[in-house]
Amino acid sequence: MEENLKYVSVRFETTNKTYTFSTTDDSIKNNDAVVVETQRGMEYGTVVSDPFEKPNINLEIKPIIRKANDRDKKQFERNKADSSEARRICQEESDRLDLQMNVISAEYTLDRAKITFTYLADDRVDFRELLKVLASIFHCRIDLRQVGTRDKAKMVSGIGVCGRELCCAKFIGDFDRISINMAKNQLLALNIQKLSGQCGNLMCCLRFEDDAYKVLRKDLPKLNAQVEYEGERFRITSMNVIAKNCKLENADHAIFISLDDLIAKGKYNKPVKKPEKEDESAAE
């Protein structure tokens, strides 16, 4: 039986994350709907890969329970339809108890043994009384989970300034740290409002493009650096590492040149690699 064991990636609609599961069912293929058991309970997901060899991880890999049937699909659709009403009830009860919570979503497990409510709040919320009320209404296990603004944007989704679906909703599984230095590295104007996504935090694309800009800017002078070009002193007032050109200005005039010309003909302080830190014993 172990010889027939194969592994596939399964994605869940509500989280947009993929997880690895095992199966001995040779009929399960990419795009099939399946029923699996996760830490949250029984869930309905979609296979998003062809079968592959066992991944090199030490974590326990749970098996797929079964291929989803029509009954499972109908139950999943019913749960999605009932979730909006459950969210509304949770928000009403929260308001009645004067809890400062913004309930974002509600999600049933496939067998409706548990319902998870996600919410936004500025501070920690004492929801013990709310748990009792919700349990008496829904007659199942209740899980209240506090999330941040980035998680909310991922759940709600939307269209970014690029005109495409938000990256967090489309494919991002886990959020990386994003800093303003990434915007500086990409020579962007430090306008926080324009650099922020719908969640109010710095846009995730700053992280995606940061490594590429580090490579493109290697050996180039910094913006506003003083350079000598064809016998004249200039200041670099703008630079486009994608188009590979820059603008040089002085008191008399301004010129546009390619970055290749700047590197070949320009005189400026080249970036110097910092020497590796010597061993303390050797330094002494």
CATH of the domain at 93: 3.30.300
List the domain range (segments joined by +) for residue 241. Answer: 226-265
Verify that 210 and 248 share a domain, yes or no. Answer: no
Question: 70-96 and 128-138 helices cross at what angle (nearest 10)?
Answer: 140
Comparing C-alpha atoms, which of 251, 243, 248 is closest to residue 230? 248
Does 281 or 220 have the greater pLDDT score?
220
Adjacency order of strands within the sheet including 33-38:
18-23, 6-11, 41-47, 33-38, 64-67
Is residue 270 in some structural domain?
no
Cα–Cα distance for residue pair 213/207, rounded to 1 Å = 10
Comparing C-alpha atoms, which of 13, 5, 77, 3 is closest to residue 48? 13
Q: What whole-number percentage of the chain has pLDDT above 70?
A: 92
Is residue 114 in some structural domain?
yes
Is residue 139 in some structural domain?
yes
Verify that 79 and 46 share a domain, yes or no. Answer: no
Q: What is the mean pLDDT of residues 248-259?
A: 91
Instruction: For residue 1, name the pLDDT band (cuts at 50, 70, 90).
Output: very low
What's the pLDDT at 272? 45
Verify that 9 and 23 share a domain, yes or no. Answer: yes
Phi and psi for 76 in degrees, rounded to 5? -65, -45
Is residue 89 in some structural domain?
yes
DSSP H helical segments within the chain, as ranges? 70-96, 128-138, 149-156, 167-170, 180-185, 192-195, 205-216, 259-265, 280-283
Query: How many domains, the chain?
Result: 4
Is residue 283 in some structural domain?
no
Is residue 111 in some structural domain?
yes
What's the pLDDT at 279? 42
Q: What is the pTM of this model?
A: 0.63
Please, which residues bridge with residue 52 across strands?
7
Is residue 160 in some structural domain?
no
Verify that 199 and 236 share a domain, yes or no. Answer: no
* Positive or negative: CA dihedral 173, 177, 179, 182: negative
Is residue 159 in some structural domain?
no
Verify that 87 and 60 share a domain, yes or no. Answer: no
Verify that 178 and 201 share a domain, yes or no. Answer: yes
Verify that 42 and 64 share a domain, yes or no. Answer: yes
